[in-house]
């Protein structure tokens, strides 16, 4: 008995020492050699994963830039140079910024812990960018840095040319913390293993520590008791028998961790009687599917382009396709940023501006379970985890078709070391048999007319795996001037363990907060909201927002056989509050962004309209703490005057924020927006009541909205495009006759 106790004590002591070693290993140290460049294609567990279990950490070494499957010319990121004012920071620039930061007085104490939460381009003033032309010198390059040093968060700017560092702490919000670093997430996921009570509880639930995987879950904000410390909650799962450990939660076990010290602050186990769901039928990997059970429902399909794609990517970030041109880059927080989108006028040949900048500003994902282990699950995936940081390499032929062009992202670790997010974005042409326009004349006219045109589009795609959930974000450009923004949801449900194996076992009055999907598995009801920032510049920066309402009019007695008809009533929003929109089916409107200073030949102001879809709205109380933080979902459409400091709908520092720096707060100022440089914000919403078809992995569900020309062109801009002819198309022979 004494030997057994000694062995257990030694095992716990060893586990604590091991975890402390790994936490120490993840703390930032002096920068390594400037040539160090991590490539996430081969160092994936360092760069990608936010889910960890006890295993050997990857070595931090110099990695070559070999990226299998990339269809474009491979580039050596270590030698990249900026060619455009909006190009992201290069590896060389990041290394210069890191050197400047770490030699600043704030970092003079080499023993003080620090972390660089973000290093990104401090974009030049919009006016400078708009005046710049290719071949001109670039405006001065500056970096924006969010740092944690000696327990305090600082916002800094660095002049990359001179190395001068400026402290701009006036930009630090009153509450909240910046986006977590990958090192934060990694270390937090290890922290519970230093707690003997946690270890014994896990083993007591029948799970080996070596089979335990843990997730770092942002806490939200629920009152003064959570202030003063950067906190995170950690929940764990069993990996035994499946890669899909999300389906095997150790339900009710929650560990509260101090993110700065990695100390366990609190420990709760409310589920000791809830069994761990079985691993059977949860794995989704094709390599494990028995050959006799494979579902070969369709023959392989691919779009072939013998002459190659119709688009080019110049200088690394400028995309030109058909009648479109835009700047494209990866961003650690937003994922994908599209800038200076312009479309060619078919009459004049002029490249006309449509949008200065667009990106995913924030995601809000509240779960609808108020119990102790679930109430706090109200995630903001961009501001808390980094939407771009969670982006995964796209899989050629499956995530993106043949002839796709792949673009990398270059981000920074917490010590400022640059690393590569390989194949983060893909660009490809899509043809799904859709029709651009058509008309067939009826035989009764005696005219034999058959005219149809195919619709080919250009897609820019990114996919982020934020732990269990996968988000696919597409920017789709059409030759008729339309831009479609689409979000697809896939991946794995965050499920709840339950003692019930069948709906018939559940007492009549018990609220499961979801759906029983399999034995001992509940898919919890939740929402997804994705808010986009759209700095529209329709033929110039000064634009107006117009609500075009459809109103029913009554005819006068004897005026017409009709009793009623619809009339379009245009109202120009003069201030922010007049532009706020809650979509209503029985109060239909169109929403136009126009340039009142530019008119068509018949006098209509040129413009684009927002065509809504994905219109699920939040039903939470406005004073519910999660909704205060997610108040940017109170409306589907907002319009604000351009302000370069207002880009993140949930605020600059989202983590544990109290909601005092959100889009909803800014708009309370009710600033003038008529004939001003304005930004439109649109939120796609999804209500998700899980169903058995979502188990063990979800088929993708998508929603989109459009930015569509309205009186922007003088007529149909694709009127003169040719139809397809057989002689112009590649001939593909069936495999049997090839």
* DSSP string across 230-272: -EEEEEEEE-TT-S-GGGSB-TTEEEEEETTTTEEEEEEE--T
Quote the tokens at residue 163.
């190395």
Residue 52 DSSP one-character state = B
628, 354 contact by CB (below 8 A)? no
For residue 81, CA distances in Å to 33, 94, 141, 318 come to 19, 12, 12, 14
pLDDT of residue 508: 83
Tokens of 338: 């599209």
Return d(Cα 672, Cα 579) in angstroms, integer: 10
Q: Which of 39, 43, 87, 381 is catalytic?
A: 381
Active-site residue flag, 381: yes
Please classify residue 184 by burial: count the beta carbons closer than 10 Å to its beta carbon, then call 0-12 exposed, 13-18 middle and 19+ buried: buried
Is 565 catalytic? The answer is no
CA distance 589 to 604: 18
Quickly state the pLDDT bin for 43 (edges 50, 70, 90). Answer: very low
Q: What is the DSSP string of 127-148?
A: HHHHH--TTSPPPPPEEEEEEE
- pLDDT digits over 89-142, tens only? 999 999 999 999 999 999 988 888 899 999 999 999 999 999 999 999 999 999
Query: 């995964």: which residue's tokens?
Result: 392
- The per-residue pLDDT for 10 is 54
Nearest to 164 by CA among 137, 139, 138, 143: 143
Q: Which two tokens stand for residue 138?
A: 């670039």
- Any domain includes 523: yes
User: Is the distance from CB of 153 to CB of 146 less than 8 angstroms?
Assistant: yes
Contact 462, 425 (CB under 8 A): yes
Q: Whats the size of the chain, residue-wise?
A: 738
Task: Give the CA dihedral 307, 309, 311, 313, nearest 10 degrees.
Answer: -100
Q: Spot the catalytic one: 177, 419, 469, 642.
A: 469
* pLDDT, average across residues 263-268: 96
For residue 435, is it left (φ>0), alpha (ψ between -120 and 50) or beta? beta
CATH of the domain at 390: 2.70.98.20
Looking at residue 3, its pLDDT comes to: 53
Report d(CA 189, CA 100) in Å as an integer. Answer: 32
Q: Which domain holds residue 520?
A: 311-432+458-721
Question: Has residue 278 got a pLDDT over 50?
Answer: yes
Q: Is 26 part of a structural domain of the chain?
A: no
Task: Determine the Cα–Cα distance for residues 77 and 267; give it in Å rounded to an integer.
Answer: 45
What gap in Å lies between CA 162 and CA 123, rounded to an integer?
17
pLDDT digits (tens, 9 = 90+) for 558-583: 999 999 999 999 999 999 999 999 99
Residue 254 within any structural domain of the chain: no
3-state secondary structure of 715: coil
Task: Point out which residues pair with 546 in neighbouring strands.
Answer: 572, 592
Candidate from 23-37, 333-347, 451-465 with smallest mean pLDDT? 23-37
Count of C-beta atoms within a 10 Å radius of residue 170: 6
At residue 157, what are phi and psi to the nearest 5 degrees? -125, 145
The number of folded domains in the chain is: 1
Q: Span 649-668, mean pLDDT?
A: 97
Long-range (24+ apart) CB contacts under 8 A made by 44-49 are 46/182, 46/413, 46/419, 47/182, 47/419, 47/421, 48/390, 48/392, 48/465, 49/186
Cα separation, 47 vs 496, in Å, equals: 28
Contact criterion met (CB below 8 Å) for 367 and 624: no
Both tokens of 153, joined, read 């968060």
On the CB side of 204, CA atoms within 13 Å amount to: 12
Query: Residue 571 corresponds to which tokens in the numbers above?
Result: 């109202």
- Determine the Cα–Cα distance for residues 63 and 39; give it in Å rounded to an integer: 6
Q: Confirm whether 243 is domain-assigned.
A: no
Closest alpha carbon to 615 in 548, 690, 527 = 527
Distance CA(284)–CA(493), nearest Å, equals 13
- Residue 41's pLDDT band, with cuts at 50, 70 and 90, is very low
Q: Is the pLDDT of residue 70 over 70?
A: no
578-605 pLDDT, tens digit each: 999 999 999 999 999 999 999 999 999 9
Contacts of 10 (CB under 8 A, 6+ apart): none
| Residue whose C-alpha is closest to residue 646's, from 488, 531, 482 | 531
Q: Whole-angstrom Cα distance, residue 361 to residue 256?
A: 28
The answer as to whether 149 is a domain residue is no
Judge whether 707 lies within some domain.
yes
Q: How sure is the predictor about 224, in pLDDT bands with cuts at 50, 70 and 90? A: confident
Query: Residue 584 burial by CB count (10 A; 0-12/13-18/19+): exposed, middle or buried?
Result: exposed
Instruction: Classify residue 136: in a domain, yes or no.
Output: no
301 pLDDT band, cuts 50/70/90, is: confident
> Looking at the domain assignment, is residue 188 inside a domain?
no
| Secondary structure letter of residue 385 according to DSSP | I
- Answer for the pair 553, 695: CB distance below 8 angstroms, yes or no: no
Token pair recorded at residue 451: 């005219």
Cα radius of gyration (the chain): 27
| Residue whose structure tokens are 């279990």 | 53
271 class by beta-carbon count within 10 Å (0-12 exposed, 13-18 middle, 19+ buried): buried
Model pLDDT, residue 8: 52
């Amino acid at each position: 008995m004494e030997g057994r106790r000694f062995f257990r004590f030694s095992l716990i002591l060893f586990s604590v020492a091991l975890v402390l070693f790994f936490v120490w290993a993840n703390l930032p140290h002096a920068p390594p050699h400037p040539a160090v460049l991590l490539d996430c294609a081969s160092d994936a567990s360092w760069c990608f994963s936010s889910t960890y279990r006890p295993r050997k950490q990857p070595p931090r070494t110099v990695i070559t830039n070999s990226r299998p499957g990339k269809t474009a010319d491979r580039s050596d990121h270590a030698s990249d140079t900026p060619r455009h004012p909006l190009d992201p920071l290069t590896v060389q620039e990041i290394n210069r910024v890191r050197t400047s930061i770490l030699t600043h007085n704030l970092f003079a104490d080499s023993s003080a812990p620090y972390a660089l939460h973000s290093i990104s381009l401090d974009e030049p003033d919009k006016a400078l960018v708009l005046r710049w032309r290719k071949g001109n010198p670039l405006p001065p390059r500056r970096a924006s840095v969010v740092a944690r040093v000696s327990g305090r968060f600082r916002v800094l700017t660095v002049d990359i040319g001179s190395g001068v560092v400026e402290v701009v702490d006036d930009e630090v919000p009153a509450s909240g913390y910046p986006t977590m670093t990958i090192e934060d997430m990694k270390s937090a996921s290890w922290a519970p293993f230093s707690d003997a009570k946690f270890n014994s509880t896990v083993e007591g639930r029948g799970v080996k520590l070596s089979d335990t995987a843990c997730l770092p879950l942002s806490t939200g904000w629920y009152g003064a008791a959570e202030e003063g410390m950067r906190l995170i909650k950690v929940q764990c799962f069993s990996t035994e028998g499946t890669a899909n450990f999300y389906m095997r939660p150790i339900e009710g076990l929650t560990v509260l961790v101090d993110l700065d010290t990695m100390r366990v602050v609190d420990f709760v186990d409310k589920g000791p009687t809830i069994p761990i769901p079985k691993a059977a039928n949860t794995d989704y990997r094709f390599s494990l599917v028995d050959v006799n059970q494979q579902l070969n429902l369709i023959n392989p399909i691919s779009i072939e382009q013998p002459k190659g794609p119709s688009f080019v990517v110049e200088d690394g970030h400028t995309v030109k396709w058909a009648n479109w041109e835009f700047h494209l880059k990866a961003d650690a927080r937003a994922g994908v940023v599209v800038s200076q989108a312009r479309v060619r006028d078919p009459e004049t040949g002029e490249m006309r501006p449509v949008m200065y900048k667009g990106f995913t500003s924030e995601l809000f994902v509240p779960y609808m379970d108020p119990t102790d282990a679930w109430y706090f699950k109200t995630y903001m995936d961009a501001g808390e985890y980094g939407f771009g940081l969670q982006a995964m390499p796209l899989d050629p032929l499956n995530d993106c078709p043949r002839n796709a062009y792949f673009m990398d992202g270059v981000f920074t670790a917490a010590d400022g070391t640059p690393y590569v997010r390989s194949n983060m974005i893909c660009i490809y042409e899509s043809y799904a048999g859709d029709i651009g326009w058509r008309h067939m004349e009826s035989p009764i006219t005696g005219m034999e007319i058959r005219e149809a045109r195919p619709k080919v589009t250009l897609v820019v795609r990114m996919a982020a795996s934020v732990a269990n959930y996968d988000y696919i974000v597409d920017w789709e450009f059409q030759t008729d001037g339309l831009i479609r923004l689409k979000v697809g949801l896939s991946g794995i449900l965050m499920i709840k363990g339950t003692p019930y194996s069948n709906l018939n076992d559940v007492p009549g009055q018990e609220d499961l907060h979801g759906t029983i999907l399999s034995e001992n598995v509940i898919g919890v009801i939740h929402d997804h909201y994705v808010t986009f920032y759209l700095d529209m510049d329709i033929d110039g920066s000064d634009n107006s927002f117009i609500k075009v309402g459809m109103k029913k009019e009554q005819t006068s007695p004897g005026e017409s056989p009709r009793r009623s008809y619809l009339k379009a009533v245009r109202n120009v929003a003069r201030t922010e509050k007049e532009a706020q929109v809650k979509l209503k089916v029985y109060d239909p409107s169109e929403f136009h962004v126009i340039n009142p200073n530019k008119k068509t030949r018949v006098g209509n102001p040129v413009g684009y309209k927002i065509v809504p879809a994905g219109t699920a709205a939040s039903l939470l109380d406005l004073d519910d703490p999660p909704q205060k933080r997610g108040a940017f979902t109170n409306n589907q459409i907002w319009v604000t005057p351009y302000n370069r400091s207002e880009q993140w709908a949930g605020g600059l520092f989202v983590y544990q924020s109290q909601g005092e720096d959100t889009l909803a707060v800014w708009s309370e100022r009710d600033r003038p927006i008529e004939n001003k440089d304005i930004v439109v914000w649109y939120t796609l919403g999804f209500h998700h009541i899980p169903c058995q078809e979502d188990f063990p992995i979800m088929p993708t569900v998508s929603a989109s909205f459009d930015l569509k020309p309205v009186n922007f062109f003088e007529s149909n801009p694709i009127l003169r495009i040719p139809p397809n002819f057989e002689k112009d198309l590649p001939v593909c022979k069936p495999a049997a006759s090839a």
